[in-house]
Structure 1
């Protein structure tokens, strides 16, 4: 809905047209790219942006945005969030959309806390998706594996 406002400047009345929708002159794809960038920087800013209009709300709830959203604010202590259903929903949505931080956290938990070596595949997926900590751990674990496999049996 558009609204008209009038101002008087120099004795002349001038009409100003204000558009109530931010996407009026900018293509949806451009807003989507902005939304993706905001998602990588701050989940709080993304949620504020999503509350601006229905287009932003729709864009914010796409799997691509949830795949890239920053989980930095919510540290990896699931027990802390049992009281907050909103935070739990946020974490579950990130896992469902294969967010690289969510993949890393799950693989880290399964590998280091539960001792399951099969979790390394999840760590590799997160590293391939660009998660820096996962890449570092995959590199360290890979170097230790390479170092062990090159040694001959019986040598220390």
Structure 2
């Protein structure tokens, strides 16, 4: 589980302890909170972190992490991608109710397909704290779009 490496500093030999099990001294809940933070910042960093050990891989694949994972790298709508990996990534985000995935799907359905029902998805994303969704819902609300549907 541990390995020892030695380095010479100032002529003295010093021992360094390297742990193969990161959770040995830090509780799993703390690692989970770190994982959630990393997920909000960069999906690439999250995937790198997940490859470190089995615990990180398990934590990275939890629905809470996928709900918060950053989709920043994949700026355009998922339908514009031909990569199977990207499609699977976006589908997993959507399955875990990631607000960005919900917003992208609703945005596409509303503006490209003219589906007024998609406003409910934008409201869900806005309620979850998605800023662009809140902005679009606010603009559409000020213009009166969507209010007629809810009033009936």
**TM bucket normalised to smaller:** 0.7 to 0.9
Deviations 1:62-83 (A, max 9, x none): 000000001011122435422x
- Residue number in structure 2 paired with 1:26: 26
Q: What TM-score results when the alignment is normalised by the length of structure 2?
A: 0.86
- Residue number in structure 2 paired with 1:106: 105
| Structure index of larger Rg | 1
Using the alignment, how far apart are the partners of 1:11 and 1:118 within structure 2? 73
Aligned residues: 147
- Residue number in structure 1 paired with 2:41: 41
Out of 134-143 and 7-16, give the one that drifted further. 7-16
- Residue number in structure 1 paired with 2:94: 95
Deviations 1:36-67 (A, max 9, x none): 00100110010111111110000000000000
| SS of match in other structure, 2:129 | coil
Q: CA RMSD, aligned part only? A: 2.2
Cα–Cα, structure 1 residues 112 and 19, in superposed 2: closer, same or farther, change >3 Å?
A: same
Using the alignment, how far apart are the partners of 2:131 and 2:55 within structure 1? 32
Using the alignment, how far apart are the partners of 2:79 and 2:89 within structure 1? 14
Q: What TM-score results when the alignment is normalised by the length of structure 1?
A: 0.84
Using the alignment, how far apart are the partners of 1:11 and 1:124 within structure 2? 65
- Residue number in structure 1 paired with 2:2: 2
- Structure 2: any 5+ residue segments left out of the alignment? none
- Residue number in structure 1 paired with 2:72: 72
- Structure 1: any 5+ residue segments left out of the alignment? 150-156
